[in-house]
Amino acid sequence: MPEFDLVIRGGDVATETATFPSDVGVRDGRIAALAPGLTKGEREVDARGKLVLPGGVDSHCHIEQLSSMGVMCADDFHSATVSAAFGGTTTVIPFCAQHRGDSLVEVLKDYSSRAAAKAVIDYGFHLIIANPDEQTLATDLPAAIASGIRSFKIFMTYDRMRLHDEQILDVMAAARRHGALVMVHAENHGMISWLAGRMVKQGNVLPRYHAICHTRGSEAEAIQRVIALAELVDCPILVVHVSTPEGIEQIRRARARGVKVFGETCPQYLFLTAKDIDIGMQGAMFCCSPPPRDEAAQEACWQGLKDGALHVYSSDHAPYRMDASGKLPKGEKTTFKEMANGVPGLELRLPLLFSFGYKTGRLTLQEFVNLTATRHAQTYGLYPQKGTIAVGSDADLAIWDPEKRVRVTAELLHDATGYTPYAGRELTGWPVSVFSRGEQVVDGGNFLGKPGRGRFLQRVPSDALQPAGRCIPEISQLKTWNTPLSP
C-alpha cells in the first residue's frame, strides 16, 4: 500500500517564505510530506520544470449575487468556481448579500444552499450588511459570526446599500464585540451622486462619465472618514478595491500611527485605466466602482502592494453580461447610472499578476504567493488550512508552467460573462494542473471536478481581528466598552 495517494514530483515549490525543489506527498486530501525523493505514490504527477504554488484564495468576488443595484450576476456558483479553478484559485470567499428589509438568516440559508449544490472548490462567505437593525446586529449577526462567517462588507455609497456614519459605527461596534472584520466600500456618496445628477441632466450619459463622477477625491474622503470611524471604536477594517494614490496614502498614514487598517486592490487598478472606458457604449465592459484611473494610480497600487499599504490582491469579480440582463438594461439608451457596476476577473487574477508582476521582476515569487493566497487565508481566518504549502495543510495546489505563453481571449475563459476586459493581453505563465484537497480538478483545458464537491469553510478568528488597543481614551473609560456599545 503506497504511503501517499498522490506525489507531485520534481517541481519547485513556492510558499510565502521560500522557493525550494521538493516533491509534495498527499494523503487524505492533505499535504503529508514535503521533501525530495518521496516514495512512490498511488498516483504520480511529473512537475519537473514547473512551479508548484498554493492554490489562490480570492477573498473578494461576487457570485450568484444580487448586486447593489438589484441585478443578478452572470455567474452562478458552478461557473464561477470552475472559472476560478482554471485560473489557479482553489478557495473563494464570495458574499451573501443582505438588502434593505432582508432577514440575514434567510439570506444565509439561500446562499448556502445554492453554493452547496454547485461549488466545485472550497468556499467561505462574507456578509453584506445593508439592514443594520436590532434583529441583525444583536441576534443574527453574532450567530452568523459564530458559525464561521467572520467578515462582512458595508457600503458608503449606492442608494440601496449605503450606511450612514452612525450605522457604520453600530456595525463596527458589533464586529469588534463578536470578532469579525469589517470590509468597506469607501466612496463618498454625495460627491458622486451630485456630479452624476448634473451629468445626466446635461445628457452626458456614456460610460466615460462613470469614471468622471467617481472622483479620486470621493475615494480619499471616504477612506479618511471610515478610518476615523474605525479609530473611534478601535475596530480593525479592510478597505476593499482601493484605486487611488490618495486613498493608499490615507491607509499608509493610518497604519503608521497604529490603526488596524488593511487595504486591498484588484487587477482592474493595475492593468486598466479610465481610457479603456472612453470608447462609447462598449466602455461599459470596464465600468466598475471605483473606476480604473491612470498610469500614475497604477504605479501607486504597485507601490502599495510592495510596501504593505495594500495587503491583498483580490479579483472583485462582479460579472455582468453586455446585454439587457446585465450591463445594458435599456440597450444603447442605458445611462452610466443604470448599468451594473463590475468587471470579471476570477480566472485571470493570478495569471495577470504572475505575468506582469512576477515575470517582469516587480514582485518576487514570495510576494506573489502572499498577495494571491497566503495573506487572504491569514486575514480571513483560513490559515494554515488554506493559502500555503505545508505539512498538514489542505492539498490545494496549482502546477504552473512559468514559460507558457497565452493570448487572452473571452473564449479561453470559463465564466459566464462573455467578455474579458483583458482581451488581447499576452501572458507568460499559466496554471496547467490544479488540485483541490488532493483531487485534480483542472488538467490542461479539461475540468474534472463535480458540482457540489466544494466545502463550506468555517473561518476562525484571525490576528487581523485583534483590536489595536488604542481607541480614544474617553471611549475606553466608558463602562459599557467591550459590552454592549450597541444600538
Residues lying near Zn ion in the complex (CB under 5 A) are found at 185, 316
| Residue 417: CB minimum distance to ligand URP, A | 13
Choosing from 10, 88, 342, 429, the residue that interacts with ligand URP (CB under 6 A) is: 342
- CA 392 – CA 287 distance, rounded (Å): 42
Closest CB to ligand URP among residues 205, 233: 205
- CA 397 – CA 433 distance, rounded (Å): 8
| Residue 212: CB minimum distance to Zn ion, A | 19
- CA 88 – CA 52 distance, rounded (Å): 11
* Interacting partner of 288 out of Zn ion, ligand URP, none (Cβ under 5 to 8 A depending on kind): ligand URP
Residue 316 binds ligand URP (CB under 6 A)? yes
What the block records as the C-alpha cell of 122 is 472550497
| Residue 157: CB minimum distance to ligand URP, A | 8
Residue 162 binds ligand URP (CB under 6 A)? no
**Angle between helix 245-256 and helix 216-233 axes, rounded to 10 deg:** 20
Alpha helices in 202-261 (DSSP H): 208-213, 216-233, 245-256
Which residues are 263's β-sheet partners?
Answer: 239
Closest CB to Zn ion among residues 150, 185: 185
Closest CB to Zn ion among residues 65, 136: 65
- CA 184 – CA 234 distance, rounded (Å): 15
Closest CB to Zn ion among residues 185, 210: 185
Closest CB to ligand URP among residues 233, 242: 242
Choosing from 9, 185, 293, 349, the residue that interacts with ligand URP (CB under 6 A) is: 185
User: How many residues are given for the chain?
Assistant: 487
Closest CB to ligand URP among residues 128, 382: 128
Residue 288 binds ligand URP (CB under 6 A)? yes
Choosing from 79, 289, 334, 393, the residue that interacts with ligand URP (CB under 6 A) is: 289
Q: Which of 400, 392, 394 is nearest to 365 (CA)?
A: 400
| Residue 170: CB minimum distance to Zn ion, A | 20
| Residue 201: CB minimum distance to Zn ion, A | 26
Choosing from 62, 150, 214, 414, the residue that interacts with ligand URP (CB under 6 A) is: 62
| Residue 155: CB minimum distance to Zn ion, A | 7
- CA 22 – CA 47 distance, rounded (Å): 10
- CA 371 – CA 358 distance, rounded (Å): 11
- CA 259 – CA 275 distance, rounded (Å): 35
Helix (H), strand (E) at residue 296: helix 295-307
- CA 257 – CA 277 distance, rounded (Å): 37
Q: Which of residues 68-87 bind ligand URP (CB under 6 A)?
A: 68
- CA 239 – CA 259 distance, rounded (Å): 13
How many helical (H) and strand (E) elements, i.e. helices and strands, does the chain have? 16, 18
* Interacting partner of 177 out of ligand URP, Zn ion, none (Cβ under 5 to 8 A depending on kind): none
Closest CB to ligand URP among residues 6, 266: 266
Q: Which of residues 210-269 bind ligand URP (CB under 6 A)?
A: 241
Give the dihedral of Cα atoms 139, 145, 149, 150; nearest 10 deg: 130
| Residue 343: CB minimum distance to ligand URP, A | 7
Alpha helices in 45-164 (DSSP H): 77-86, 104-118, 134, 141-146
What the block records as the C-alpha cell of 324 is 439587457
Closest CB to Zn ion among residues 191, 397: 191
Q: Helix, strand, coil % (nearest 5) of the chain?
A: 35, 25, 45
Closest CB to Zn ion among residues 221, 316: 316
| Residue 70: CB minimum distance to Zn ion, A | 15
| Residue 118: CB minimum distance to ligand URP, A | 20
Which residues are 44's β-sheet partners?
Answer: 7
- CA 225 – CA 468 distance, rounded (Å): 18
What the block records as the C-alpha cell of 328 is 445594458
| Residue 219: CB minimum distance to ligand URP, A | 12
| Residue 72: CB minimum distance to ligand URP, A | 13
Choosing from 31, 318, 373, 389, the residue that interacts with ligand URP (CB under 6 A) is: 318
Residue 98 binds ligand URP (CB under 6 A)? no
Reported for 197-203, long-range contacts at CB under 8 A and 24+ positions apart, including other chains, are 199/336, 200/335, 200/337
Closest CB to Zn ion among residues 185, 260: 185
Closest CB to Zn ion among residues 62, 414: 62
Choosing from 22, 244, 341, 379, the residue that interacts with ligand URP (CB under 6 A) is: 341
Number of residues that bind ligand URP (CB under 6 A): 10
Q: Which residues bind ligand URP (CB under 6 A)?
A: 62, 68, 185, 241, 288-289, 316, 318, 341-342
